[in-house]
Structure 1
Amino acid sequence: MSSSTFSQTRSSALNLEKQTESLLSRYSQFQNQSSVEASEEEISLHQSIQETLEKRDSILGKLNRISESMDNLSTSKLQQLTRHREILSDHKTSFAKISSSIADERNRNNLLFSIRSDIDAHKQQRTNLGGNGEINANDYVLEERQRVDNANSFADRLLQSAFNTRDELLSQRQYLNNAQSKMFSTLQQIPGINVLISKINTRRKRDTFILAGVISVCIVVLFFL
């Protein structure tokens, strides 16, 4: 019964993975748009991706509980569960990168729009002042200060976006570490798995020593020749 439930739940996880890939593909197209505000479609896609990722978190939690309830969890099922976690982590990272890229591009467009608006206002002011086009020094200083403030605000938003991306990557790293710890814990509960891993490590060390010996002999022979 547990095996059947595991397969059914995994089928839901596969469907959600395909749905996420499709949503991310559509969402990535907004990276190249020059809009200064998010459209309704973009907001809807962003929310849909978040909800889908949350559903997948819930599905993987259910799969994990099912696997823990099974007396003998096969290696294939353990690998499937691990793979689902890796794909979810990759999709979360991609979502964070795309969101950050869209935000950076929109901030840049907003800054350019603000600069163009300032230039237009500056030209209009010169026109209204008449033929000599003289501008009050204090007004000019205030305008320049406003431009500097806008540039600083843009830099602050970029830094905040970078910090958010860093926090997301750290979160994903913690998630992978927890998954790895859980996998090792599960492996230790499988009879004979420690012996198998020990034999694999022993064979790997033996092959390493043999290869090192062959390389050493070759070096010595080449040296004397």
Structure 2
Amino acid sequence: MAAGAAVGGGGGGGGGSSGSSSSNYWEDLRKQARQLENELDLKLVSFSKLCTSYSHTNCREGRRDSSDTTPLLNGSSQDRMFETMAVEIEQLLGKLTGINDKMAEYTNSAGVPSLNAALMHTLQRHRDILQDYTHEFHKTKSNFIAVRERENLMGSVRKDIESYKSGCGVNNRRTELFLKEHEHLRNSDRLIEETISIAMATKENMTSQRGMMKSIQSKMNTLANRFPAVNSLIQRINLRKRRDTLILGGVIGICTILLLLYAFH
């Protein structure tokens, strides 16, 4: 009411009627947003219950024998319900996003700063609720898909085992040996993968070290080419070291020969 009065103060009687109409439009949008949020809340609760009950239902189906007459919702029915509910929730999220966009347009068109701040605060609350619902929907959907894939994989493995056990002339001992051999093969594959990973890491490390050495060598060559005086000085020092080594070797050889001659004579 205060917001409508603030808008009406700038334009007389006609402005008051326009402000009241704008206020009604805003309240209409808020009412639609709250209604969609309530529907989304109920849908998400049902969606979460469906996803939670999926794995339990499949587990019960896996343990169910001929004497169990409890009615169960099979996997295909749950999949259809999941797809239907996911489409409905996505449509509600799209509608709520459209309402928030309309509220944002109305907020941007408001000219009173105090009214604009209040509207922005309300709009931000609705946006936060939309973001939470969207995050919860995607998280629940991802969990359901992961559980369904895992259950399908486990179901196919369980069927293969049952069909293998129910075959004619199957020896349980042989089955156990096959399973142990399969486990050994899996362990061998895992060890081979670890060894390959270690070898690849070693190769990358050696490649990195070789690159570093090449970089150091190139830098040294660059410095030597950049400072020819230093390069020539290093060469003279090396030549002098070689000469000193030759002189020292000659002196040691002559002394050794003289000592041998003195020892024999």
TM-score by length of 1: 0.48
Identify which of structures 1 and 2 has the higher relative contact order when contacts are C-alpha pairs closer than 8 Å and 6+ apart.
1
Report which of the two structures shows the higher radius of gyration computed on alpha carbons.
Answer: 2
TM-score by length of 2: 0.42
